[in-house]
Amino acid sequence: MQDVLPVGLAHWLIQASYFLAAILFIWGLKKMSHPRTARGGVLWAGIGMVVATVITFAEPGMHNYLLMTTAIFVGGVLAWWTGKRVAMTDIPQMIALYNGMGGGSAAAIAAVELLRVYTGAGLSYEAFAARELAVLGALIGTIAFSGSLIAFAKLQGWMRKVYRFPAQQALNGMLFVALLVLGFLLARTEFPAGALYAFFALALLIGVLMTIPIGGADMPVVISLYNALTGLAVGFEGFVLQNPAMMIAGIVVGSAGSLLTQLMAKAMNRSLSNVLFAGFGTGDDGGSALEVSGSMKAIDPTDAAMTLTYAEKVIIVPGYGMAVAQAQHKIWELTQVLIEKGVKVSFAIHPVAGRMPGHMNVLLAEAGVPYDLIYDLEDINSQFANTDVALVIGANDVVNPAARKDTSSPIYGMPILNADKARNVFVVKRGQGTGFSGIENLLFFEDNTRMCYGDAQDVAQKLIAGAKSA
């Protein structure tokens, strides 16, 4: 097919557009790190993406335009449709899914390049380390692809079981060594087609095997890790294709994603190696050794509403249980009633209050809660001591004082919200069971704690009614 533009002009325009796209991506990410400018950030990055994609059609010497446009149209429309429809509570698995697609795309690019090596056409760009980077990108991208799909299945609830079997790490280690040997073969010499297929099959398998033993609670860290890995894979394939936009965007995401993974792991009191190589929330951690004293004391929602209304300062501690019950809109309504009555209300968000750090902020924002009422753990923890009521809704482990007191507890050392320091603590909870991690919550047995049993939405409704009539 005829080139769209003269070759020299096309090359110049493509390079200039990729340069512009790289600037817009970095600038967009920078703007996304503050709530007020965040939306503008994603818009600018989006413009960069459109510019880079459109100009790529002018790349000289290309054919298969019909296939290309069809693939973009089908992939784009499907992603648009699913992205617009997904509920805010399900955002984490959608990020995993789209991320897996990116990893798969990088791996497929590598597969095309390696097929060219196999047929004797050679890489698009033969240079020092180009083959090694192609193979490395293929490996990382494929693992990110299959791993992300498993993460998606787990968060979507399609795969509830945690698969662990003896010598799992040893098996993974052996497969990984085999994979490296195959990869070395692909990067060095002429290779049989079988080696190419075996390489990708094995990489897919490793991604699956790495992810299936990891419990749902740790999944955010894993998704973040795969996000960083996809970035790296994209950066490496960008080198193979001599595409600076891919190199810069990929490596920026690779390093930003690595840092974000560490921040998340730290917020959850887990180390990355713990997440990847040890079980959690699987029951093999053992329970708390500390004797629980006292008993749980129930309170009627109407009485709780009365105390809330006459309080000066209330801190609401939402957990994922609130989002499951879809109670965030009711809670915002309750907050508005209380504010009208002159109560100072703020929200305290633990980094792992949602299904990943920051997820709860998104859910509250969806309900209409302005972000300046919402505080991070470090900013609000000192204020519980002069707070009249801490209202805990659907949160459990993140307010468990065992993390401060009980050295034998699996969550010991995890930063928690000090809700127990408030004068009164109301806990809205479905029933008397333990939390996500199966650990007994000492907060529920404190003298200043009252339990408000019931569905979060029903209780919130009763609290609103009570507060209005008070």
Q: Give, as ranges, the residues between 333 and 392 that touch another protein (CB under 8 A).
A: 349, 351, 354, 356-359, 361-362, 365-366, 368, 370-374, 376-377
Size of the site for another protein (CB under 8 A): 123
Smallest separation, CB 466 to another protein (Å): 24
Catalytic residue among 284, 300, 397, 455: 397
> What proportions of the chain, in percent to the nearest 5, are helix, strand and coil?
65, 5, 30
Q: What is the distance between the alpha carbons of residues 357 and 220, in angstroms, rounded to a whole number?
A: 8
Name the one range near another protein by CB under 8 A: 127-135, 163-171, 271-279, 297-305.
Answer: 127-135
Stretch that binds another protein, among 124-132, 207-215, 316-324, 449-457 (CB under 8 A): 124-132
Q: Which of 238, 281, 394, 415 binds another protein (CB under 8 A)?
A: 238
Within 8 A by CB and 6+ apart from 427, the residues are 392, 443, 444, 449, 450, 451, 452
303 versus 379: smaller Cβ distance to another protein: 379
Query: Of residues 61-80, which lie at the interface with another protein (CB under 8 A)?
Result: 61-65, 67-68, 70-76, 78-80
Q: Contact between 414 and another protein (CB under 8 A)?
A: no
Structure tokens at 355: 């299904």
Residues 82 to 101: which contact another protein by CB under 8 A? Answer: 82-84, 86, 88, 91-92, 94-95, 97-99, 101
42 binds another protein, rule: CB under 8 A:
yes
| C-alpha–C-alpha distance, residues 90 and 320, integer Å | 12
| Contact criterion met (CB below 8 Å) for 432 and 445 | no
297-326: which residues touch another protein (CB under 8 A)?
A: none
> Cα–Cα distance between 25 and 247 in angstroms, integer?
12
Q: Is residue 49 a contact residue for another protein (CB under 8 A)?
A: yes
Question: Shortest distance, CB of residue 342 to another protein, whole angstroms?
Answer: 16
**79 vs 162, which CB is nearer to another protein?**
79
Q: Does 225 bind another protein (CB under 8 A)?
A: no
Q: How far is the CB of 295 from another protein (least distance, A)?
A: 35
Instruction: Report the distance separating Cα 429 and Cα 413, nearest Å.
Output: 24
Residues 11-40 that bind another protein (CB under 8 A): 18, 21, 25-26, 28-30, 32-36, 38-39
* Contact assessment for residue 396 and residue 321, using Cβ atoms and an 8 Å cutoff: yes
User: Measured from the CB of residue 121, what is the shortest distance to another protein in angstroms?
Assistant: 8
Measure the CA–CA gap between 71 and 83, rounded to whole angstroms: 18
Query: Which one among 119, 189, 273, 295 touches another protein, defined by CB under 8 A?
Result: 119
| Cα(206)–Cα(449) distance, integer angstroms | 47
Q: CA 281, 286, 289, 293 torsion: positive or negative? A: positive
When asked if residue 223 is in the footprint of another protein (CB under 8 A), the reply is yes
Instruction: Provide the 3-class DSSP secondary structure of residue 314.
Output: strand
Using a 10 angstrom Cβ sphere, with 0-12 exposed, 13-18 middle and 19 or more buried, the burial of residue 224 is buried
State yes or no: residue 230 binds another protein (CB under 8 A). Answer: yes
**Given 102, 207, 319, 435, the residue binding another protein (CB under 8 A):** 102
Positions in 242-301 near another protein (CB under 8 A): 242-257, 259-260, 263-264, 267
127 forms part of the interface with another protein (CB under 8 A): yes
Shortest Cβ distance from residue 246 to another protein (Å)? 5
- Burial code of 118-141, b = ≥16 C-beta within 10 A, e = fewer? eeeeebeeeeeebbbbbbbbbbbb
Cβ 406 to another protein shortest distance, Å: 25
Residue 138 to residue 4: CA distance in whole angstroms: 31
84 burial class (0-12, 13-18, 19+ CB within 10 angstroms)? Answer: exposed
User: Does residue 90 have an active-site annotation?
Assistant: no
Residues assigned a catalytic role? 397
